[in-house]
Amino acid sequence: MPVYTSAQNVKSGIPLGGIGAGKLEIFPSGVLDNFTFLNNIHKPMTSDDPKNPKGILGFHFGIFVKDKTKKIAKLLQTHGVGDYPLVGSIKFNGAYPFAHLEYQDSDLPVEVELEAFSPLVRKDEKNSGLPLAVFKFKVTNPYSRPIAVSLMATSRNIVGEWGVGRFNQILESPRSIQLHFYNKKTQSIDPAAGEMCLTLVKNNSFQGTYLGEWNMQARHFVFDKTSLSLGEAWQAFIEDGDLPNINTEKTVPSESFQLGGAIAAKTHLKPKSSATVTFVLSWHFPGYGEGKMYEAWFRSAGDVAHYATEKISSLHSATKEWVKELNSLDIDSWLKDSLSNNLYPFVSGSLWTKRGRFDLLESPQVCPLSGTLDVRFYGSLPLALFFPQLELKEMIQFAEAQRPQGYIPHDLGFKRTDLLSNSTNGLFWKDLNAKFILLVYRDFLLIKDEGFLRKMYPFVKKAFYWLTNTDKNKDFLPDNEGADQTFDLWSYYGASVYTSGIFLASVLALEKIANLLKDAELEKEVQLWFKKGRASFEKKLWHKKYFIAYNNTKGGLTQQQASHHVKAQKVSVACMAAQLTGQWIAHLLGLGYIASEEKIKKALATILEMNGSASAFGAVNAVLPTGEKDKSNSQSENIWFGITYALASLAIYEGFEKEGLSLAKKAWDNASVNMLNPWNQPDMYSSSDGSYLFGDHYMRNMVIWSLLFALAKKDKNIDKFLKR
């Protein structure tokens, strides 16, 4: 797992939250930042410097220790706020959906650890969509004398965009102490209209106390780290580790008032003993936009808290189950880390509406398009594995959005799930329909739902015939007419290796579907398309040792065309990292070869040699025959995480396991070691220095799970894990 210290400037944290429910992030410095649970997934609530997150003010954990006559109190974080004392350092282990923090401080006579998580239970969509974060502290007394310890959690009332009208309320039951955050004056147009709840889960080993409210803002008109006031909560806490059990429920009457609240848990640790204290932060922000799916399950943040209190142990165990199974596999430790930690878009980039519509966002802040088909072609693989019903739901939404002529739209909406768009640049993309066909067949293979396949079949056939109509030069391959595919700043013309390869794979998949559904006429038709399309693919695009980017002439390459990089609309002899994407998906789906096996293997070896060696950080998207990067556009000269991972997976399928894993590790190391930003990865990054260029929380990168599918071909235990 990625191991960091609080001294490192890690730029993202482990997201805590539920599918479609929003999240917050916990950082190696111990702070909480980047809140998106207030209907603000496209514009997170952050601290002042997003490149160096220092935590949302008011959300803190603290510790009080009384050892003999000595009293010590500190905030459990290393970024400073005001003059409050902080712990010395933190060791952070991140393995999404878990974060483990070890607080290190020479003044503290006890050992303090935190396991923070939100439930992510395989094939349990509801319990993976809960709007909550769990903070499970463990305090250990290593000495032979008793020590008194208290842990405190503080939260700030951020309900509603305006502080006036906010109030806090304490509700206590035999199972918990709940601190509720409300606002009486919110409007329906306010995305932050809702409620929050901070809960202490009771047990017999400690005593819980609370302070319902105080003003955290010490100066009028200013609220920053120099003016944060933990007020009477901190004063009471540092005295004996207790809070005064006061809650007035007064409503905020004016500005310059940041309403805080706190709960504490105090225990007397016997020698050589430990105690566990669990806090839960839950939220409920309904009714804005298309609403949230969790509104169908819970009426309030308190309902969520009650549910979590009752089920917290089983939810923890169920989440640990698949993590334990993954870690038991005989694969490299870095790969285990990258697989679990690349699942974060489940929470950081998902919409799940009240009426049940579900989408993974391409890039929630930079490019917040719902579902983006060319991207989900790669990134939705673990969605089908972990949450098959959500995967089928999203694919059905694309089928229902099919244009009358048969074109499958690029996405389902901008910041919403019901306003589909043809593309990002006004063109009709030639890779979308083929990817739609392949995803339908992939989901059938993984989920084994023949009813789904039959339901999708009319849409699949219509998608195929739309594609055949794009073949203007009658070479049985779609004709590209510019930047009309996933590389939307990179123009291809005529037969392109990327689009044509995926098309050939889709024809093989459609042949399988037609056979299963006993459509002999279509089966025969697609067999002809594959035979003739494959012949054109090899004739037009093969060049010595790889397939060129595109050829817009009637025949194969002339010697003059092959001798240099033609910049006109006729031919590009660039060597693309993604030239065998069609073969990658064909192997994933067991479809066989889209072209000569000998040529595929030779092309793969060339890509690994040329594109793979052109950068220390991954496979460069395109290089010229000279070995230089193709600098005709920003996409060609740089690296996409998803393309590198798909290429690495293909290498494993083709017997280049060492080379494939090494290539994938370069990309993962760039995110986790070089950029220190594994939980907010882009789509594209620099081939020169690894710096991030385009995108955030990018969906495509979850395609790293295809490496596990490739490895499963030779490992029964991996295959068993994938089929659970």
Task: Note the pLDDT tens digit of each residue in 1-57.
Answer: 689 999 999 999 999 999 999 999 999 999 999 999 999 999 999 997 767 789 999
Task: Note the pLDDT tens digit of each residue in 560-577.
Answer: 555 554 456 789 999 999
SS3 assignment, position 181: strand
Q: Which of 324, 346, 374 delimits the end of a domain?
A: 324
Residues 6+ apart with CB under 8 A from 247: 168, 169, 170, 210, 211, 212, 213
Q: Which of 324, 340, 363 delimits the end of a domain?
A: 324
pLDDT for position 563: 55
Cβ atoms of 463 and 439 within 8 Å: the answer is no
- Based on the fold, state whether residues 281 and 348 are members of the same structural domain: no
- Based on the fold, state whether residues 170 and 297 are members of the same structural domain: yes
Mean pLDDT of 677-688: 98
Q: Count Cβ atoms within 10 A of the Cβ of residue 435 and give its class: 0-12 exposed, 13-18 middle, 19 or more buried.
A: buried
Distance (Å, whole) CA 217 – CA 228: 6
The token pair that represents 576 in the structure block: 């693309």
- Based on the fold, state whether residues 301 and 392 are members of the same structural domain: no
pLDDT of 557 higher than 90:
no
At 515, give phi and psi (nearest 5°).
-65, -45
The token pair that represents 622 in the structure block: 């395109």
Closest Cα to residue 644, out of 624, 623, 621?
A: 621
Report the CATH number that the domain containing residue 147 is assigned in CATH. Answer: 2.70.98
- Based on the fold, state whether residues 265 and 333 are members of the same structural domain: no
pLDDT for position 124: 98
- Based on the fold, state whether residues 103 and 193 are members of the same structural domain: yes
In sequence order, the β-bridge partners of residue 176 are: 201
SS3 assignment, position 239: helix
Residues 6+ apart with CB under 8 A from 474: none
- Based on the fold, state whether residues 627 and 660 are members of the same structural domain: yes
- Tell me how crowded residue 218 is: count the other CB atoms within 10 A of its CB: 16
- Based on the fold, state whether residues 52 and 85 are members of the same structural domain: yes
Residues 6+ apart with CB under 8 A from 679: 12, 13, 14, 15, 25, 94, 96, 341, 344, 348
Mean pLDDT of 357-376: 98
- Tell me how crowded residue 685 is: count the other CB atoms within 10 A of its CB: 28
Task: Note the pLDDT tens digit of each residue in 109-164.
Answer: 999 999 999 999 999 999 999 999 999 999 999 999 999 999 999 999 999 999 99
Cβ atoms of 617 and 639 within 8 Å: the answer is yes
Distance (Å, whole) CA 557 – CA 541: 8
How many domains does the chain fold into?
Answer: 2
pLDDT for position 626: 93
- Based on the fold, state whether residues 573 and 615 are members of the same structural domain: yes
Cβ atoms of 682 and 692 within 8 Å: the answer is yes
- Based on the fold, state whether residues 473 and 579 are members of the same structural domain: yes
Distance (Å, whole) CA 107 – CA 659: 48
- Based on the fold, state whether residues 488 and 423 are members of the same structural domain: yes
pLDDT for position 174: 93
Band of the pLDDT at 559, cuts 50, 70, 90? low
Mutual angle of helices 450-468 and 497-516, in 10-degree steps: 140
pLDDT of 340 higher than 90:
yes
Q: Which of 299, 324, 349 delimits the end of a domain?
A: 324
Task: Note the pLDDT tens digit of each residue in 245-275.
Answer: 999 999 999 999 999 999 999 999 999 999 9
C-alpha dihedral, 592 to 593 to 594 to 597, nearest 10°? 180
At 196, give phi and psi (nearest 5°).
-130, 165
Residues 6+ apart with CB under 8 A from 44: 34, 35, 36, 365
Residue span of the structural domain in which 566 resides: 329-722
- Based on the fold, state whether residues 315 and 449 are members of the same structural domain: no
Task: Note the pLDDT tens digit of each residue in 224-247.
Answer: 999 999 999 999 999 999 999 999
- Based on the fold, state whether residues 353 and 301 are members of the same structural domain: no
User: What's the predicted TM-score (pTM) here?
Assistant: 0.96
pLDDT above 70 as % of the chain? 98
pLDDT for position 287: 83
Which amino acid makes up residue 715? Answer: D
Report the CATH number that the domain containing residue 702 is assigned in CATH. Answer: 1.50.10.10
